[in-house]
Chain A
Amino acid sequence: MSPTLNHYLLVSGLLFSIGFAGVLLRRNIIIIFMCLELMLNAANLSLVAFSRFNVGANGLPNYNGQVLVFFIITVAAAEVAVGLAVIVALYRSRQTTHVDDITTLKF
Chain B
Amino acid sequence: MFTPLFWFFAALTLIFAVAVVVNRNPVASALSLVISFLGLAALFVGLDAYLIGVLQVLVYAGAVMVLFLFIIMLLDLRAEKRRKFNLLGLAGGGIVAAALVLEILYVLSKFPAGNNQFPPLRAEKIDDVREIGAAIFSSYNLPLQVIGVLVLVATVGVVILSKRELK
Contact = CB atoms under 8 A, between A and B. Distances in A.
Interface in A62-107: 63-64, 66-67, 69-71, 73-82, 84-89, 91, 97-98, 100
Interface of B: 1-3, 6, 10, 13-14, 17-18, 20-21, 26, 29-30, 33, 36-37, 40, 43-44, 46-49, 51-52, 55-56, 59-60, 63-64, 67-68, 71-72, 74-75, 77, 80, 83, 86, 89-90, 92-94, 96-97, 100-101, 104-105, 108, 111, 113-124, 126, 128, 131-132, 135-136, 139-140, 143, 147, 150-151, 154-155, 157-158, 161-162, 166
Main secondary structure of the interface of B (DSSP, over half): helix
Contacts of B77: 28, 30, 97
B20 A63 contact: no
Majority-rule SS of A interface residues: helix
Given A6-B111, A11-B43, A85-B158, A25 B131 contact: no
B103 to A, nearest CB: 9
A4 B22 CA distance: 30
A48 B42 CA distance: 12
B6 to A, nearest CB: 4
B48 A52 contact: yes
Given A5-B114, A34-B68, A63-B132, A89 B162 contact: yes
Contact of B10 (A11, A52, A75, A84): A11
Given A2-B1, A3-B6, 9 more contacts: A4-B118, A18-B14, A21-B96, A25-B93, A30-B68, A41-B60, A76-B64, A85-B158, A88-B161
Contacts of A27: 80, 83, 86
Interface size class of A (residues with CB under 8 A): 35 or more
B116 to A, nearest CB: 7
B75 A28 contact: no
